[in-house]
Each structure stands twice: as C-alpha cells, then as structure tokens.
Amino acid sequence: MSKLVISPDQQCANWKIEPEFTFTDDERDSLQEALSQTTISPYREYNAFASQVKEIIRQRRVPQRFVDFVATLASRDRDLEPVVCIKNGPYDRDVPPFDFENPVESKYRLKKTFIAEAMLSLFAQLCGTPAIGYVNVNDGDVFQDIYPKKAMADTQSQKALREIHFHKDLANHFVRPDQVYMVGMRSDPVNEVYTSFVRNIDVWEQFDEDELDLLRKPEFHTPFDDLTVVGDKKLGEADRHPVLGELGDLRYFENRTRGLTDQASALLEKLNAVLHSQKCRLFIEPGDFVVTYNNHTIHAKEVVKVGNEETLKQRWIIKTVNVDSVARHLHHFVDGTEYLVNG
C-alpha cells in the first residue's frame, strides 16, 4: 500500500497535508471493478456518463467506509484544512503515453477506459459538488488533463512542462470553481515535481491592517489565463480587481498579477515571499485523489529536480473543477446545459 510522499524540506510550519483516507487493496479493487463498467465516453456524452456513475452509487457498490468518510467533509473547516489527500484509489492503469504535440487528441484515441473520470464524478456526486466545464478549455471537456503539450510547454497553464507559479484555478474568470479534484495517473519519482499548497489564513497573518486594506482595493490586474485565451479565443480585457476578497479568498496569479500603483506592486513582492515561506509540498502518485478548496488555498507546480526529461513530458493528472451549487452560475451556462460555462 502506498504511503504519502512529501519533500523532506517542505515547510508547513502551521499545517501538514497527511492522508485522511486510504483504500484497502480489496476496497480499491472492488470499486475499480464497479467503475470499469462505465462504458459511455465522458468526452462525448457527459450527462449519460454521469448517469452511469449515479447508478453505481444507487447499487451501493461504493465501499461504505469511503461513503462515510466523504460525508464528514460537509462540516470541514476549509480555512484550516483546505486540502484532502486520499491514497490507494482506483485509476486507469497502463494507459500509453500521449503525443507531446497533441495530448488531448491522443487521449481520445488511446484511453479506452474511464475509471479516473468515474472516480471524479463519483466523488462529486457523493459530495453534491457538481463538476463544470468551459467552452474555451478543451472544447468544453469536464475532465481535463494536467499534461504537458509542446506548443504550450512554456506557458502558465496545465499544459506547461515545467513550473506553474502560485495561483488558484480560474482566479480571474467570471465563474470561479469552489473545488479542484485531482486523480494522479502517472509520475516518475526520479522527477521531483510537487504540487505545493498555501493556506490563505497563513498568508493574511503576515500583513498588517493597512496592507490588507490596500489588498482589498481594485488596484490589481491579472490577464486571463493562457489556456482560456489560446488560439483565437477572445474574452476582451480582464477587469481590475482586489487581491483579497470579502471572504478572505486570494485572487492572485504569481508573476502575472500586477499592481497598478507603486504601493500595490510592492505589496505583491511581499506576497510572493510569503507564499514561498508557507508552502507545503505534495508529490502526487498514481492512485492519489487530492481535493483542494480553491477559495481557501493557493497552489503551484514546482519542478525541483528533473532526472528523466522524457518521463517529465508524460506526467499526468486528471482533474475537474467543481462548484458547491450551479444555481448562482446558470446565467453563464450554455443554453440547455447545467455544467458548461459559455466562456
């Protein structure tokens, strides 16, 4: 049974990311068998696929111990514990590496089972946190890949080959997710590639009241993320915004968000230093299921050491972005859908 892998020099002075649930091998195998019965492609018929997962839940094929654990998350203090790590979960094994030139199209051809996608859908349905997709991201796919792509290798997107600076997902989009769910699919331990997290509450403790007041003002600007605007997709100019939201959330993308005054710019330099002083590093292994509460933490991809350049190109995590409720977002959805954002 796999153990949590953390960088030995992770900092985490006030907080640790530890496994909160580990499937037994029998539980994993039983659930994997159930999820392997999802025969409809989630990339062609998302609603029908989600219905197949719903039927697995209805038939009580999910280990009760896991159902009970997921139920505890409803009362979780997301400020104090904004990341959940689950170990030894089901995922699709032995999927061939994708084409570095066009990994998404390659996935459509090579991936014949949908176990990881079913696990993501299962978790979302148990939590009551619907997954959403975006028209401008992978043509609206709900299930997205953190997987390098040659043409976007140097961008700050989930297609990047190397580091992605601290950010929260879709921080400058008009529909911002409440959660990000991830299933580890492939990672070579010779490459020290970590997903690093910082709690919002640990950030704000480092600023005085005058600094916090300035961070609450719309004196900052962040361009739309690379993946949203790649190609001929046009969303216009992103709005000025505060970095600190009313509920203590952090609207920020390191090295992309800029201050519109000298004082605001100086505060961002301090913010960068704080983020790197408070980070916790997590090495996501195959079969890991990781939850991050997107409005209560900020995360980064850190490439500390590369031992094999070729397997670095094959590192793979499947993710969804999810919301607590679709009701407040429906006016942004494509007509006739309850999951696809028109943007």
- Which structural domains are found in the chain, ordered by start? 19-341 (3.60.130.10)
The pLDDT value given to residue 4: 45
Residue entry with tokens 């028209």: 135
Residue 340 bridge partners (DSSP) = 133
Q: Which long-range contacts (C-beta less than 8 Å, at least 24 apart) are formed by 107-113?
A: 107/145, 107/147, 108/43, 113/36
Q: What is the dihedral of CA 198, 174, 75, 68, to 10 degrees?
A: -100
The pLDDT value given to residue 7: 46
The pLDDT value given to residue 141: 97
Q: What is the pLDDT along the chain (343 residues), one digit of tens a residue?
A: 344 444 445 556 578 999 999 999 999 999 999 999 999 999 999 999 999 999 999 999 999 999 999 999 999 999 999 999 999 999 999 999 999 999 999 999 999 999 999 999 999 999 999 999 999 888 899 999 999 999 999 999 999 999 999 999 987 788 999 999 999 999 999 999 999 999 999 999 999 999 999 999 999 999 876 555 455 545 556 789 999 998 889 999 999 999 999 999 999 999 999 999 999 999 999 999 999 999 999 999 999 999 999 999 999 999 999 999 999 999 999 999 999 999 8
The pLDDT value given to residue 236: 57
Residue 17 bridge partners (DSSP) = none
The pLDDT value given to residue 14: 78
